[in-house]
Amino acid sequence: MNKEYNGNEAARDIVFSNVSKEYLRKIILDYGAQVCGFADIERFEDAPKGSHPCDIYSDCKSVVAFGVSLPKGLYMVDSRLIYGHFYDDVCNKVNEIAYKIALLMEKEYGAIAVPIPADGPYEYWDTKNLDGRGWLSMKHVAVQAGLGTLGKNTLFLNQLYGNRLTVGCVLTNIVVNPDSYAEPVCLPNCNECVTNCPSGALHVGSAAQSECRMKAYGKGEKEFNTVDCYRCRTVCPMRFGACVI
C-alpha cells in the first residue's frame, strides 16, 4: 500500500448528504444492481485482523455494498453446468459494477474509491482444510450495510431476493450516514439447510469448507467447471425472499 499516496489524498473528508447518498444509490441500481446499502467504518470495529476495510485502504471512511441476483429459475433446474455458468457470470457482472462505481465516485465527487473483487482472486488459502477467504467477507459487509442477515448455514439472506444475491463493494474516503440494519430473514425454528446438507458440512451458525467444497464443486466431461451441490440454497424456505417478487 502506498502510504504517501493515501496520506496526501486523506487531507480532507468528503461528506455526503442524504440526498447525495440516495442519488448514488439510484445510479448503482441503474448499473444493474438489485439492492444497494451503505455502512460507515465504525460498523467494522469487530472485524478480525486482516479482514477490516482499513487493512486494504487505510483511509476508508465508508463502504458501499450492492447485490446482483440470480434468477429464480436457476433453482428449479437440475443442471450442474447452468447454475455454475451463471454464478460465474454474475460474479463478473458484480465486479464490473464495482469498477464503474469507483470510477464514478472519483470523477464526480473527487473521492478515492477501491473496488473489491466479489470472489477471487484472493491470497488466503488453507490447502489442508480447503479454506479460502476473500479480501473481505462480502456477506458480512452486506449485513453491516443493512442489506440483510445471515442464515443458519451462514449464507446471506435478503428480504426481497433470499439467498440469490452475489455481493460486491467499494471502499471510499467519503463519509456517509449508514443505512439501518435489516430485520432477520431466517426463520427461527427452521433447520432445513442443516439437515439436508448431503456432506454434513453445516451446523447452526457454521460451515466446514473442506466438507462442503468436496461435494459442491467439480468438472464435467469437457472440463467445464460445475456446481454439483447447492442444496442448502434450494431447500431454504426464504430462498426467494420473505417477500416473494
Predicted confidence at residue 8, as pLDDT, reads 44
Cell numbers found for residue 3: 502510504
Q: For all residues of the chain together, what is the average pLDDT? A: 87
pLDDT in tens, 104-134: 999 999 999 999 999 865 665 555 655 556 6
Cis peptide before 121 (omega within 30 of 0): yes
pLDDT value at residue 133: 61
pLDDT score, position 83: 87
Residues in the chain with pLDDT values less than 50: 1-11, 245
Sketch out the chain's domains with CATH numbers.
3-184 (3.40.109)
First-residue to last-residue Cα distance in the chain:
43
| pLDDT score, position 214 | 72
Q: What is the pLDDT of residue 207?
A: 74
Summarised one tens digit per residue, pLDDT across range 152-188 is 988 999 999 999 999 999 999 999 999 999 999 999 9
pLDDT at residue number 132: 52
**pLDDT value of position 120:** 65
Given a contact cutoff of 8 angstroms between Cβ atoms, the answer to whether 98 and 171 are in contact is no
> What φ, ψ does residue 63 adopt, rounded to 5°?
-125, 130
pLDDT at 2: 36
Q: How many other CB atoms are there within 10 angstroms of residue 189's CB atom?
A: 4
Whole-number pLDDT of residue 162? 97
State residue 7's pLDDT score.
Answer: 42
Mention every residue, 6+ apart, whose C-beta is less than 8 A from residue 148.
Answer: 142, 156, 157, 158, 159, 165, 182, 185
Concatenated DSSP letters for 117-158? -SS---SEEETTTTEEE-SS-HHHHHHHTTS-EE-TTS-EEB
